[in-house]
Structure 1
Amino acid sequence: MPALQTGLFFGSFNPVHIGHLIIANFMATQTPLDEVWMVVSPQNPLKPKKSLARDYDRLHLVQIAIEDNPQLRASDIEFGMPKPSYTVDTLAYLKEKYPSRDFTLIMGGDNLATLHKWKNFEHLLAEHQIFVYQRPEYSLGELSGHPHVHLFEAPMMHISASYIRNCLKHGHSVRYLVPEPVFRYLEKTPLYQ
């Protein structure tokens, strides 16, 4: 039986929004991947932690956003790992825990351009395929020609989680910027206010 092709879409998802879901669904349905795991990061080593909602709040929002899509899964795999979490360590752990899956990294072109700064990036490139959704405002960098890097023209939404947090802080509606279950949940909770 061939290995399940699992894409890993890492992010703070602070909060998850429709731009994230469009990319995840595109990767799950229009590439060789069988499924996409949305891996909620407890701490990105390259980002400040202060603006992050609690880990399990962000995980819950991803879970309710994708609960009706069998090809998408929310993952808290990094919550129990040493902080800060590094992608290469997470992949080593996942490979050991799920030997029947082949894991592919999903990232934006902006991340590909800075991949050379990641811990053990040569190992990542050697051991894993990387599916990149292009972002027109960023150059891809020299790694875009690597045989394990595959470029895709996924539909892009110019929505940021920081914009959504700012709207919520100022009492503005975020309807249609986030999935409806997430919108309803945020209406009832002061999570980002």
Structure 2
Amino acid sequence: MKIGLYFGTYNPIHVGHLIIANHMAEFADLDQIWMVVTPHNPLKKKATLLDDHQRLEMVYLATEDYPKINPSDIEFKLPQPNYTVNTLVHLHEKYPTHDFSLIMGEDNLKTLHKWKNYEVLLDHYDIYVYPRISEEEENIELKSHPKVHIIDAPIVEISSTFIRNSIKEGKNIQPLLPPKVWDYIDHNNFYKK
């Protein structure tokens, strides 16, 4: 089974995340998308980051009607701070018959050379890249790498930061969130302070 790993803090998960995950599930050669919730890095200031399990719950709520998209808490069990390459080693041990790939935005591809053991990632894993709006035409060397697949996915310019700030300002951003996620956030008064 070919699994696309889509990492994120999902603070909160929004319709943009779902559009990208669903597009990858339906139009790339992937059988499933695992939305890997990244745990809070203890070395970073928490600020507005909700608890790991609250963010995982929102991903569950958002994806329960999408059989090809599954939430994953795999990184919750790994030592922190964690690196993608370590997560992949752990996943291979746990699911030896699965073929894992990475899903990332074009902005992440630009900085991939700064990731720990990025050469290992490029040598052993397919990387599916969704486009981002860019001010200038950028020459990303890695775009032509044989393991990198640029997917013609919809460009979605919604950010979790924008959503959190809008909730804090009392704006109605309901259309940007899956209904069950909006209900969960509203019920728990998240991001209002």
Q: TM (normalized to structure 1)?
A: 0.93
Q: Secondary structure at the match of 1:38?
A: strand
Identity, in percent, stands at 51
Tell me, in whole angstroms, the C-alpha distance in 1 between the residues paired with 2:158 and 2:43.
20
Tell me, in whole angstroms, the C-alpha distance in 1 between the residues paired with 2:129 and 2:186.
33
Tell me, in whole angstroms, the C-alpha distance in 2 between the residues paired with 1:43 and 1:144.
30
Offset at 1:44?
6.2
Residue-by-residue CA offset, 1:28-54 (whole Å, 9 max, x unaligned): 010100000000001469975433111
Q: Residue type of the partner of 1:61?
A: M
Query: What aligned pairs does 1:102-121 form with structure 2 within 5 A after superposition?
Result: 102-121=99-118
Which residue of 9, 19, 22 maps to 1:22? 19
Q: Secondary structure at the match of 2:96?
A: coil
Which residue of 126, 130, 142 maps to 1:129? 126
Match of 1:153 in 2: 152
Of residues 83-92 and 168-177 in structure 1, the stretch that sits farther from structure 2 once superposed is 168-177
Tell me, in whole angstroms, the C-alpha distance in 2 between the residues paired with 1:127 and 1:94.
14
Which residue of 69, 85, 89 maps to 1:88? 85
Choose between structure 1 and 2: higher helix proportion. Answer: 2
Match of 1:176 in 2: 175
When the two chains are superposed, the root-mean-square deviation of aligned CA atoms in Å is 1.7
List alignment gaps of at least 5 residues for structure 2.
none
Paired positions, count: 190
Tell me, in whole angstroms, the C-alpha distance in 1 between the residues paired with 2:36 and 2:100.
12
Of residues 128-137 and 110-119 in structure 1, the stretch that sits farther from structure 2 once superposed is 128-137
Distance of aligned partners of 1:51 and 1:187 in 2 relative to their CA distance in 1, 3 Å threshold:
closer
Match of 2:65 in 1: 68
Tell me, in whole angstroms, the C-alpha distance in 1 between the residues paired with 2:8 and 2:91.
17
List alignment gaps of at least 5 residues for structure 1.
none
Q: Secondary structure at the match of 1:93?
A: helix
Offset at 1:186?
1.4
Q: TM (normalized to structure 2)?
A: 0.93
Tell me, in whole angstroms, the C-alpha distance in 2 between the residues paired with 1:34 and 1:44.
30
Q: Secondary structure at the match of 1:9?
A: strand
